[in-house]
Structure formats: structure tokens, C-alpha cells
Amino acid sequence: MSNIIISVAKGDGIGPEIMNAVLSIFEAATVPLEYDYVDMGKGVYDKGYSTGMTDGAKASIEATGILFKGPMETPKGGGVKSINVTARKTWNTHSNIRKFQTIKGVDTVFSKAGIPINLTIVRENIEDTYGGIEHYMTKDVAVSRRIISRPGSEQVIRSAFEVALKEGYSTVTCGHKANIMKLTDGMFLDTFYEIAKEYPQLKAEDVIVDALCMKLVYAPQQFECIVLTNLQGDIVSDLCAGLVGGLGFAPSANIGDHIKIFEAVHGTAPDIAGQNKANPTSLLLSGTLMLNNLGLEHYGTAISNALLATIDKGIHTGDFGEDRTNSAGTKEFAEAIIKELDLSKITDSNPEKYHKPSKLGKNKMMVSSDEIIETVGIDLFVESEQQADHIAQIVQSNLDADMELTTITNRGTQVWPEGSVYTDLVDTYVVRIEKNTTNEVKKKRFMEQAIRMYDHLNIGSIEMLITIDGVRKYSLAQGQKVNALS
């Protein structure tokens, strides 16, 4: 069997120590891999590359399709982007997969109570507030755009069902906040149940994310595979790391259709760098995920069994466990794992399953449809220190005959035509103008209406209100009554 070539970036701080430890275990386990070492991280930023990776590194990763990386330092300030976020976005690794399992020898409240944990969080990795699209609307109001797309949701949800099949789980749970974010999380949830139909052998259920957190803390054993949008997934996955003993015991894979990134979830630990104290477990477990992904499951299983046997014998680095004084160094820990390796069960590997790198041929996420999209109104984001009645008067005296002012809101709460005396105001109102006719009103007319309003109001931003096949696709304000036409 010929070796598979992967790209390896050792990383910064403790990165080289833990990567060397992991690769020494791979070598002892006769894992059929070859490494193309690439330059990424601090040293590359220091040379003036704002992306934190050299052109050679990019070319290598695109040729091998696999990046195995240690933690990397992103310089603070200076306008450079995080290497981790850049890598995930550049290669559209849409699904972040993190597995959380009870490890014998790592004491937690649950392990002490004899409650086993075996769950996987699949987190959307590209969209949501991580687009980082933020603006100051006025001096006192900043907004963030939260983008959720149907094709993006499909990708990550399908990944979750595939993970569940691979892991032998019976249930996939969708965590969401669709009761509040009815359109964004609502789309994610609808998509979840659509995709679930493709997997009739698996049970699909959903839980509101706050209740999910509570249930995870008191009974994590009731969950197997949980899929979430990006920010909620970020928070819930760290919560789960806490359930199994911390970030050091949770492997992480960023899976795209073309490129896959396997990494430790912790940082560069500058306080212990170069001291042979770092725990390589997170990187090693991510490495075993990578081996499983490459069709080298026998090697992955042999290595994780050796790791578990080592920890079970009480051999561990000084960052966990009861005996921290007499703990092993990074190298000694790796040597102890090597001693536990049982290679007798490595009988075959299936080349058919090897990940083969490919490039994006066409934008398959861009799909045309016959749905009828109609613009029915416009939201004007207006800066003003006046009361809502005053703004309403200005708007109403400048409205076209086929349009009406339906609501004015402040921080999402309706303040006109009715409001609560307890609503405190900031300097940004949203003025909603909707058509009051069943006839079609051209989109351009709403823009023209906005421009006319601009002569009287300080408009910072606008948002079109649309329906798709007659269904309203914009949120109502808290307290707003539904317009007769919508």
C-alpha cells in the first residue's frame, strides 16, 4: 500500500512539541502517511504575510486535501485575520466536528457517577455572525448581520446525519433558537427536518438551545449527535468539553467537500511552551479522527486504545489528574502510549475510502428556483433623537398613496402606532413602510420612496421586505399587528 501524503503545520508555542509527540506515535504505529511540512502561523505573519500562510503552504494543502495542524498564534492588532478562521473560510470547511467521550482515568463529575458520555457536536463553520459583517448604525447603535443560508444549512446538517451513521448513533438533535429567530434559525430547523427525511433509519428531534444546555449539564448521556448553527455550536461545544474534562480531551475536525483540517482545539499555551509539559491528547485524538477519515480506522483505533490504556494506568501530563507532581513530560507520555500500542489488529486498509482532493468545479450551492419573490415594503433605519410620533408625522406627510407607515420600532420593540411607556429609546428607529394595495409595486418605487424620505430623515440604512410565494419573509416587531395584506 502506498503512503498517503498530508500537509502538516506544526504551529507555534507548544505546537511543535505536541506535533512531534503525535508523529512519533504515528511512526511507531506504522501509519502509512507521508508529511509535507508547511509554513503557517506566527513566523509567517512576522515575514509580512497577512493571511498567516505562505503560497507554498496553500498550494500543498490544496494538493493533498488534508491539513493536520498544531495551534497557531494570531498577532493581536495590525489588521491581520486569524489563521484558523482564514483557513476554514478559504477552503469552505463547512462542518466543525467535535467528539466528546468519557476517558477512563480523566475524572469528571459524570465519570465519578458512572455516567458515560459519548456525543458529537457538529457545528456550522462558515455562516452566522462569523461572517463578521458589522456596522455602526449611529453613534450609539452597532449591528451585526447574521447570515444563515439554506444550502449552507443543508451541508452541515447532512454532515451531522453522516456522522451519526458512522458513529452508530440512533438520534440526531438540532439545537436552535427558532422560537425567537424565526427566519434564520427557522430556516435552519426547517432544513433539518427536510434532510432528516433522507435518513429514515435515524431519529430526528430538536431542542431549543438554552434548554439543550441545561439538559447537557444534568443528563448528557441522553444526547448522541447535535447539530447547531455557528455561534450556538461554538458555545455548546465548549460546554461539552467541560463535561469530559476540558478542551484537552476533545478532538476537532473541520470538514469541507474538498479540504479537511484536523487540529487541537486549545491554543499555543505560551506559558509552558518549550518545557516538555504540554499535553498532546487533543492533537492525538484529532489525528485519530483524521486517520478514520482517511480510511485508516485500524490505525486510529489502535492509537486511541493505547492512549486510553496509558491514561487508565495513571500516566498523564501535569495539566490534569490527581497526581500532578509526579506527572509525565510530553515526550515520556508519548513513549508510554507507544508501549501500549497493539498493532496485531491492523489487518487491512481500504484504499477506496481514501479522501481524494478535488477542486470546486461550479458553485453547486447556487440553485435557481421558480419561487415568486415580491417586494412589499421597506425598512428605513433612521437616526433621530425625536419621539416616534414626530417621525411618524414626517413619514406620513411624504408617503405615496399606495404605501403606508405600518410600524416604528426601537431596538426591535414597537413604539408607534402603539407602544409601552416603559420602552426606553436609543437613537436609531426602524421605520417600516409597506404597500397598502394588492397590486404589484415595483421594487424601484420603494427605493424612490426612501430617497424622498431622505430629504426629511437621517436614513443610515435600508432593508427590503419581501414575500416568497406570498409568504412573509421578514420579522414582525415586538408588539406589531399583522398588516391586512401580509
Taking the CA atoms of residue 398, residue 403, residue 407 and residue 411 in that order, the dihedral angle to the nearest 10 degrees is -80
Among 272, 290, 334, 476, contact with ligand NAI (rule: CB under 6 A): 272
Among 72, 212, 315, 388, contact with ligand NAI (rule: CB under 6 A): 72
Nearer of residues 17 and 185 to ligand NAI, judged by Cβ: 17
Choose the binding region for ligand NAI from 176-184, 190-198, 231-239, 269-277 (rule: CB under 6 A).
269-277
Site map (CB under 6 A) of ligand NAI, residues 314-353, x = contact: -----x----------------------------------
State how far the Cα of 300 lies from the Cα of 291, in Å rounded to an integer. Answer: 5
Residue 284 binds to ligand NAI (criterion: CB under 6 A): no
Nearer of residues 269 and 334 to ligand NAI, judged by Cβ: 269
Residue 65 binds to ligand NAI (criterion: CB under 6 A): no
Residue 17 binds to ligand NAI (criterion: CB under 6 A): no
* Closest approach of ligand NAI to the CB of residue 283, in Å: 8
Among 25, 189, 244, 278, contact with ligand NAI (rule: CB under 6 A): 278
- Give SS3 for 149: coil
Query: How is 230-250 classified by DSSP, letter by letter?
Result: HHHHHHHHHHHHHHTTSGGG-
Quick one: CA dihedral 44, 48, 50, 51, positive or negative? negative
* Closest approach of ligand NAI to the CB of residue 12, in Å: 7
Q: Are 378 and 450 in contact (CB under 8 A)?
A: yes
Choose the binding region for ligand NAI from 22-30, 70-78, 132-140, 211-219 (rule: CB under 6 A).
70-78
Residues 6+ apart with CB under 8 A from 346: 29, 30, 298, 299, 302
Query: How is 98-119 classified by DSSP, letter by letter?
Result: EEEE--TTS--HHHHTT---EE
Residue 266 binds to ligand NAI (criterion: CB under 6 A): yes
State how far the Cα of 195 lies from the Cα of 296, in Å rounded to an integer. Answer: 29
Q: Angle of helix 297-312 relative to helix 330-340, nearest 10 degrees?
A: 110
CA nearest 253: which of 226, 287, 281? 287
Site map (CB under 6 A) of ligand NAI, residues 378-417, x = contact: ----------------------------------------
State how far the Cα of 407 lies from the Cα of 168, in Å rounded to an integer. Answer: 51
Nearer of residues 160 and 278 to ligand NAI, judged by Cβ: 278
* Closest approach of ligand NAI to the CB of residue 16, in Å: 12
Residue 279 binds to ligand NAI (criterion: CB under 6 A): yes
Nearer of residues 85 and 181 to ligand NAI, judged by Cβ: 85
Nearer of residues 81 and 145 to ligand NAI, judged by Cβ: 81
Residues binding ligand NAI: number (CB under 6 A):
19
Provide the H-helix boundaries in 29-179: 42-46, 55-64, 83-90, 109-112, 150-167
* Closest approach of ligand NAI to the CB of residue 281, in Å: 7
State how far the Cα of 225 lies from the Cα of 172, in Å rounded to an integer. Answer: 5
Site map (CB under 6 A) of ligand NAI, residues 425-464, x = contact: ----------------------------------------
* Closest approach of ligand NAI to the CB of residue 109, in Å: 20
Residues 6+ apart with CB under 8 A from 2: 32
Residue 71 binds to ligand NAI (criterion: CB under 6 A): yes
Give me the residue whose beta carbon is nearest to ligand NAI: 267
State how far the Cα of 130 lies from the Cα of 46, in Å rounded to an integer. Answer: 25
Q: Angle of helix 281-293 relative to helix 15-28, nearest 10 degrees?
A: 50
* Closest approach of ligand NAI to the CB of residue 77, in Å: 12
334 CB neighbour count, 10 Å cutoff: 24
**The three three-digit cell numbers of residue 146, written as one number:** 447574521
Nearer of residues 73 and 127 to ligand NAI, judged by Cβ: 73
Among 73, 185, 404, 434, contact with ligand NAI (rule: CB under 6 A): 73
Among 79, 168, 271, 356, contact with ligand NAI (rule: CB under 6 A): 271
User: DSSP label at 204?
Assistant: E
- Residue 339 vs residues 45, 94, 292, 323, 388: alpha-carbon distances, Å: 39, 37, 22, 21, 74
Site map (CB under 6 A) of ligand NAI, residues 224-263, x = contact: ------------------------x--------------x
* Closest approach of ligand NAI to the CB of residue 101, in Å: 18
Residue 268 binds to ligand NAI (criterion: CB under 6 A): yes
Site map (CB under 6 A) of ligand NAI, residues 84-103, x = contact: x-------------------
31 CB neighbour count, 10 Å cutoff: 23
Give the binding site for ligand NAI (CB under 6 A). 14, 18, 71-74, 84, 248, 263, 266-272, 278-279, 319
